[in-house]
Each structure stands twice: as structure tokens, then as C-alpha cells.
Amino acid sequence: MIQTSALRKDFTVWRKLGRLRRERRVVTAVDGVDLTVAEGELLGYIGPNGAGKSTTLKMMTGVLTPSAGEVSVCGLTPVPQRTRLARRIGVVFGQRSQLWWDLPLTESFSLLRHVYRVPPADHAARLRRCRSLLDLDAFLDTPVRQLSLGQRMRAELTAALLHGPRVLFLDEPTIGLDVLSKQAVRGFLGELHATGDTTIVLTTHDLADIEKLCRRLVVIDHGRVVHDGTVEQLHAAYRSKRRVVADLDTAWPDGLTLPGASVERVEADGLRVTLSLDGATAGEVVAQLAQVVPLRDLSVLEPEIEDVVARLYTGR
């Protein structure tokens, strides 16, 4: 559905050096990205600030012309075939709105039906689905400028989907949203993905979005892909470890070690120990622990995606 090959974007920026002199500098925002996204896939596209995510999305949606390389979306080349592409893609860019600011939301939705020449029955069915899944009814008659951020994001998602696009591009759709709105947006995207009709590319800084929604994750840094695989593969590559945290009735004996695990931290006057698993299973470690110290409570912590992504971003 989406294919890029050696995709590159350079920006020329000018820096003022005094009153008359300027220095020309080339910023390579995207530096040879090869990506294939299959039909129905939900791809997480992440990276630190300035990594080149938005620039990639802009080239995929026909907003920016690549400096080199190729990009194809739904079999079309985005910039020269932008009008045809617009009917096949939906776009939600957190900062930019596709709604009419002063009009009630319903009127924006009707206008979009005319813009995209959507058959009334299709439009009505899609709107009905979004109204129920995104809980829009309470603010359908409110002018867009009066909507809260969470309401507007739900409205933007609806607006992006009313013409039945085959690909949905989302740039930070949960930025600034409260917990409930985030859940609503994630739940909706999960449902949309489950139908298998829409290919979704999601950029976000909220790694919970990624964990909850994406099987495949592409990480970009300085314009280059530094990871392309599942979240589990990322954990494996960075040897992220599960941990066992045990609360004890008597203090952890100094220097005690267990095979297949290493002591990461001892705290609370020796009454809490955190062990990371280096080969042993959680069950094996707990069984060994129970033989050497009286246990009060236990929990097994999964590796944090935040940790591994932070290590990836810092190049460790």
C-alpha cells in the first residue's frame, strides 16, 4: 500500500551572519528511507524530535516533493497525483485542522461530503459509525473553535475518514489529550485496524499508543531507519529484561546471588529486592527466592518500552 525507496528530503536553510551576509546550509531531514507498508497494517513510526517523521509523512501525502528517491501510496506518486491521492488517503496532523473553524461540526462534515463527492448513504453510514465509536453527539452542533482539544481530535478523525480512505496518516493524534480522550482515540483506532480495510501510519511520542496499537514499529533517527520490526524484536535487540520485585519479611542477605538472575536493587532497609532475569524464568527465580528468604509480596515487571526506546535514541 505504501512503498518508499531511498527516500530523501533536504531543506536549504539560511543563517544570517551580520546585516548583509547569509550562510547557506542544507538540512537532510529524511536520509534514504526504505519502507514497505502492507494493506491493512498499522505501522508505528516514531523517533526523537527532529528525526524526520513529519517530513516523511508530508512526502507520503503529497505535501512535500522528495529531493531524491521514490514514494508510492496506493499505487500513486503523491505530488504529481495529489488530487487522485486525496480521495484515497485521510490525514490527521495534530497541529492542522481540516474543519471549518466557525461552522458547527455537522456542517463541516456535510461540506466534506461535497468536497469529496461521497454518496450520501456511504457518508451517513460512516458518520453514524464515528458518532457512536467516538461519542460525537454531545458536540455535533458546536462550532469547531469552541471544541476542546479532545473533542476536536475526535472530530478530526471523523473528518479524515468520511470519504472512506484506504490509508490513514496520523501525526501525533493523542498529543495533549487527557487519559480518557486518549483511550477513546486508541480504542477507535484499534477498532478501525481490526476491520482490516484501512492501512494506518501513526507517528507519536506517546509510547503507550505504540504498545496498545502497533505490532510493527519503525524507529527513525537523523532521517534514517534505525529499527524496523516488532516491539518484541526491539526488546530482544536491546536485551531488555523482565524483573521480579519481591517484598521480604526479613532483610535481603548481603551478597546473596541467584542463578539466572541478577540483583538490580535492594531498598527499604533490605526488605525489597529487584532482580532482573538473565536466563531464568520468573517462576524459577520465585521458587529459588522462596527457599532463601520469607516472601511477603511479589510482582513481575515487563520491560518498559520507554527504557528501550530511550536507549535507542541515545545510541546505547
Ligand X SMILES: Nc1ncnc2c1ncn2[C@@H]1O[C@H](COP(=O)(O)OP(=O)(O)OP(=O)(O)O)[C@@H](O)[C@H]1O
List the Cα angle 166/167/170 in 5-degree steps: 145
Residue 47 within binding range of ligand X, rule CB under 6 A: yes
Residue 90 within binding range of ligand X, rule CB under 6 A: no
Binder of ligand X out of 11, 190, 250, 302 (CB under 6 A): 11
118 vs 165: CA distance, rounded Å = 11
C-beta of 66: minimal distance to ligand X in Å?
Answer: 13
Contact 225, 34 (CB under 8 A): yes
Residue 207 within binding range of ligand X, rule CB under 6 A: no
Instruction: Determine phi and psi for 38, rounding to 5 degrees.
Output: -80, 160
Rank residues 12 and 291 by Cβ distance to ligand X and give the closer one: 12
Find, among 99, 110, 111, the residue nearest to 143 by Cα. Answer: 99
Using N-to-C axis directions, what is the helix angle for 149-161 and 120-134, rounded to 10°? 150
Residue 49 within binding range of ligand X, rule CB under 6 A: yes
Rank residues 218 and 293 by Cβ distance to ligand X and give the closer one: 218
Q: Which stretch binds ligand X (CB under 6 A): 52-60, 121-129, 156-164, 281-289?
A: 52-60
Residue 101 within binding range of ligand X, rule CB under 6 A: no
Contact 245, 301 (CB under 8 A): yes
Site string for ligand X, 158-187 (x = CB under 6 A): ------------------------------
* Site residues (CB under 6 A) for ligand X, limited to 25-44: 27, 29
Burial (CB < 10 A; 0-12, 13-18, 19+), residue 203, is buried
Rank residues 226 and 271 by Cβ distance to ligand X and give the closer one: 226
Cell of 197: 480495510
Q: Rule CB under 6 A: which residues touch ligand X?
A: 11, 13, 27, 29, 47, 49-55
